[in-house]
Structure 1
């Protein structure tokens, strides 16, 4: 576990290597990406570091439309398919948030959607997931039942944007999905190991990142993950 002072030293150490993607008055937005794909998004004001977001340079597995700024330095958007039909709403941290400016009509664009795993359960397949408590829907902490009294359940590949429609927007979501691919990395600067798993959920893909072994992941498994979401829309950099 990296200490607070150690993380601060890491952030200050990588700023000279980081790429500047936005500047506004005294505020500067940097992105630093390790060879593994591990990424830090750093906002400074003068010599002070105001905010740091952890992310990952994963594949463009989702398509975002109607992207706009929300309270708390977050963004809200719609996840759409290739025909621009809406699959889900989402709240997230957006790496390029400062580049939105006052834009009110941001074109739909491919995005990397990263889920930083807060808690992750793993199942051998859809049947095991559906038989578990992890698949049960709850509302306000209470189990949701259908008209027969049976518990209502999430599909094995389903996305629940828990923080998108609350009174206070939060970049949290429940990701249930099938693991497609797994890569394991070690960040050279810190020695910390992590796993990046590409997960199919709700008609799109999320890159799920967890510390290595927490838990072990393999292709073909079904995961039920509570995540913190960070998105990147590369086309905003050249807009």
Structure 2
């Protein structure tokens, strides 16, 4: 988790640093909802960095790092990734007509409040970029090794290499050959920067970059560590990300539980 926290300006070096961040989140959190004895609270820094924390009988049982993104994709049929899996969900990403654009695995901010029923609706999709490069534009990306499929500059048959498009998305976490292995909430993301800004977290003094990115499934909020350098509209970003979803149409009712509209 520590590398993902660095994407939000919450980087820590050890368990003690992580405990400090979590305890700060708990001390300044707001109640969000409850379900079956589990209460969920959320803390958000002015920068947009956020933690969603679940507690059972006063004991912390789950932490989801995320960002205050805005809805940009439509998810359909969101369910747990498989038996015995409690922290990863899978869903189709669809267009407004319901046609499937892709499929992905995600962490869900509200996962402690979900039941077993499939969920569908708009979502804010946050990408925490643990291995992302920034390119001046689509042309620059097309000529860079980062666009090569498999990193191969030429094919054995002598034909031109296969390259990723500048707004392509590959849900690598769904591809595994290991028997019984659960999907992972990771993907290869390539997209065009719509807007970007540098943020600073008051708790740590660390900076991070938050960029709205247009890619094949829709628009996502990409968060990058502060040492990434300048990110501008029109840049193309490319690389590995961890995905977190906030389900936009889940609203707390008067009892604090979450419901589908």
**TM-score in terms of structure 1 length:** 0.89
Gaps of 5+ in 2: 1-10, 253-259
Residues 34-53 of structure 1: per-residue CA shift (max 9 Å, x gap) = 22211101122333322222
Which residue does 1:47 correspond to in 2? 58
User: Alignment partner for residue 35 of structure 1, among 38, 46, 54?
Assistant: 46
**Cα pair 1:116 1:208 within 8 Å, conserved:** yes
Which residue does 1:177 correspond to in 2? 191
Which residue does 2:8 correspond to in 1? none
1:149 aligns to 2:159 (yes or no) = yes
**Cα pair 1:121 1:225 within 8 Å, conserved:** yes
1:211 aligns to 2:222 (yes or no) = no
Residues 29 and 225 of structure 1: CA distance in aligned 2, closer, same or farther (over 3 Å): same
Query: Structure 2 CA distance, aligned partners of 1:158 and 1:144?
Result: 20
User: Alignment partner for residue 223 of structure 1, among 237, 243, 248?
Assistant: 237
Q: Report 1:1-239 matches (<5 A).
A: 1-3=11-13, 4-70=15-81, 71-104=85-118, 106=119, 108-138=120-150, 145=155, 149-166=159-176, 167-238=181-252, 239=260
Considering Cα pairs closer than 8 Å and 6+ residues apart, tell me whether 1 or 2 has the greater RCO: 2
**TM-score in terms of structure 2 length:** 0.82
Secondary structure of 1:129's aligned partner: helix
Q: CA deviation at 1:165?
A: 3.6
Query: Structure 2 CA distance, aligned partners of 1:200 and 1:144?
Result: 29
Query: Structure 2 CA distance, aligned partners of 1:20 and 1:145?
Result: 55
Query: Structure 2 CA distance, aligned partners of 1:81 and 1:147?
Result: 37
**Cα pair 1:69 1:97 within 8 Å, conserved:** no
Residues 162-209 of structure 1: per-residue CA shift (max 9 Å, x gap) = 002434210101110101100211111221111100111114011110
Query: Structure 2 CA distance, aligned partners of 1:168 and 1:43?
Result: 22
Secondary structure of 1:5's aligned partner: helix
Query: Structure 1 CA distance, aligned partners of 2:51 and 2:154?
Result: 39
Residues 187 and 24 of structure 1: CA distance in aligned 2, closer, same or farther (over 3 Å): same
Gaps of 5+ in 1: none
Q: CA deviation at 1:10?
A: 2.4
**Cα pair 1:137 1:144 within 8 Å, conserved:** no
